Structure 1
Amino acid sequence: MISIVKDLAAEALFVSDLQPSQCPTHKAVEEAVTDMILQHGSDGCAANVAEEFGEHPDDAVRRMHWVHEELTEVLEPRRPAVIR
């Protein structure tokens, strides 16, 4: 179940307007994912990803790599700071 949610989040972020050069905050990533799911639905996000991979495969691979890096940071459990 968790991987399905991660896959949907990846597709949604992929089709968003966020760019790596913007260095988006976690909040911006979360908002973009939510907005794209509401706008396109899960099937629409997947279809847009597939279209991009078909038309611009090299660019799509680079973007998906960035998407997974962003989501790893956003979804990674936050560890409390160790005070010594």
Structure 2
Amino acid sequence: MISMVKDLAAEALFVSSLQPSECPSNRAVEQAVTAMLLLHGSEGCAAEVATEFGDHPDTAVRRMHWVNEELTGVVAPAPALT
């Protein structure tokens, strides 16, 4: 389940206007993900990601690496209860 949530968040952050140079806070990342999901929906975000990878593969790969790094601190599995 966490993997699906992270994938969805990655697509939404990818299509957002946030840039690596902004060094966004976790809160800014969460807000961008929420805004893009509300604006485009999950299928719309996925479609825009696919378009960018088709049109600009080199740039898209670098952006997706950044997206995944940003989401490491935001979307993480909850600690296991013992």
Instruction: Say whether the fold is shared (TM-score over 0.5).
Output: yes
- Determine the structure 2 residue equivalent to 1:13: 13
Q: Deviations over 1:13-58 (max 9, x none)?
A: 0000000000001100000000000000000000000000000000
Which runs of 4 or more aligned residues in structure 1 lie more than 2 Å from their structure 2 counterparts after TM superposition?
75-78
- Determine the structure 2 residue equivalent to 1:81: none
TM, length-normalised to structure 1: 0.88
Question: Structure 2: any 5+ residue segments left out of the alignment?
Answer: none
Question: Structure 1: any 5+ residue segments left out of the alignment?
Answer: 79-84
Q: Take 2:75 and 2:4, find their aligned partners in 1: how far apart are those partners?
A: 14
- Determine the structure 2 residue equivalent to 1:29: 29
Q: In angstroms, what is the RMSD of aligned CA positions?
A: 1.6
User: How far has the Cα of 1:2 moved from its partner?
Assistant: 1.5
- Determine the structure 2 residue equivalent to 1:53: 53
In the alignment, is residue 62 of structure 1 matched against residue 62 of structure 2?
A: yes
Q: Take 2:10 and 2:46, find their aligned partners in 1: how far apart are those partners?
A: 9
Larger radius of gyration: 1
Higher RCO, 1 vs 2 (CA within 8 Å, ≥6 residues apart) = 2
Q: How many corresponding residue pairs?
A: 79
